[in-house]
Chains A and B, each alone.
Chain A
């Protein structure tokens, strides 16, 4: 069966520091991968998606970037965090246009 891992589960970082959140998927090949940010009362905002290694599409211009160095690995990064980057970050995978499956998320607090 397929599983999706995210780490770390929680992270507290000072403003201006770098960020690296990792997501890996097991049990499937060539998945579509997604990064979302969830804010209370605002639903899920799609940040990035990827249909293959090295292929990244950005939905919202911001202080973050994403990379996909391996088929089942998706990384969310920032060179310098802002206070507004605080939030709950979710990684998800899908096969084609099918349903998406979500990871446990990372709670990021920028202080």
Chain B
């Protein structure tokens, strides 16, 4: 069965530090890839997505992610985090049938000011 792995369960950073959250998926075919973010007390929101084309995608709030097909990876990055980036981050991939998303277990990011 398809799966998504997020390697970091909880990441703690100081403001201005750089961020990279790992995401690997198991299916080798055509997939759409997503990062979602859930700020405390808020809805799950789309951060960025990759469907095709340039493997380096840019999302909201200065986030970006790079799709590396050979590594089945879609890591999320931000050069300088802010306290307001404190949230839970989920990586997701479309299932083989294209009917739904498979989510990783999430990474909690805590940024101290």
**Inter-chain contact B99/A99, CB cutoff 8 Å:** no
A-B contact count (CB 8 A): 48
Q: Does B57 contact A (CB under 8 A)?
A: no
Q: A41-B9, A99-B46, A102-B44 are in contact. Are A46 and B106 (CB under 8 A)?
A: no
CB neighbours of B102 from chain A (8 A): 46
A104–chain B nearest beta-carbon distance, Å: 5
Per the bound structure, the CA–CA distance linking A19 and B90 in Å amounts to 28
CB neighbours of A104 from chain B (8 A): 43
Please report whether the interface of chain B is mostly helix, strand, loop or mixed according to DSSP: strand
A43 contacts which of B32, B49, B104 (Cβ < 8 Å)?
B104
Q: Does B98 contact A (CB under 8 A)?
A: yes
**Inter-chain contact A43/B103, CB cutoff 8 Å:** yes
**Inter-chain contact B46/A101, CB cutoff 8 Å:** yes
Q: Interface size bucket, B side?
A: 20 to 34
CB closest chain-A residue, reference B10: A41
Q: Does B100 contact A (CB under 8 A)?
A: yes
CB neighbours of B104 from chain A (8 A): 43
Per the bound structure, the CA–CA distance linking A34 and B103 in Å amounts to 13
Q: Does B105 contact A (CB under 8 A)?
A: yes
Q: Would you list which residues of chain A between 25 and 48 have a CB under 8 Å from chain B?
A: 32, 34, 36, 41-46
CB neighbours of A103 from chain B (8 A): 43
Q: A41-B9, A41-B106, A44-B90 are in contact. Are A34 and B100 (CB under 8 A)?
A: yes
**Inter-chain contact A44/B99, CB cutoff 8 Å:** no
**Inter-chain contact A41/B34, CB cutoff 8 Å:** no
Q: What sequence of 0s and 1s flags, for each residue 25-48 of chain B, a beta carbon within 8 Å of any chain A beta carbon?
A: 000000010101000000111100
**Inter-chain contact A42/B105, CB cutoff 8 Å:** yes
B-binding residues in A (CB < 8 A): 32, 34, 36, 41-46, 49, 51, 57, 59, 90, 97-105
A-B pairs with beta carbons under 8 Å apart, 15 shown: A41-B106, A43-B6, A43-B106, A44-B101, A44-B103, A45-B103, A46-B100, A46-B101, A49-B100, A97-B32, A97-B94, A99-B32, A102-B44, A102-B45, A103-B43
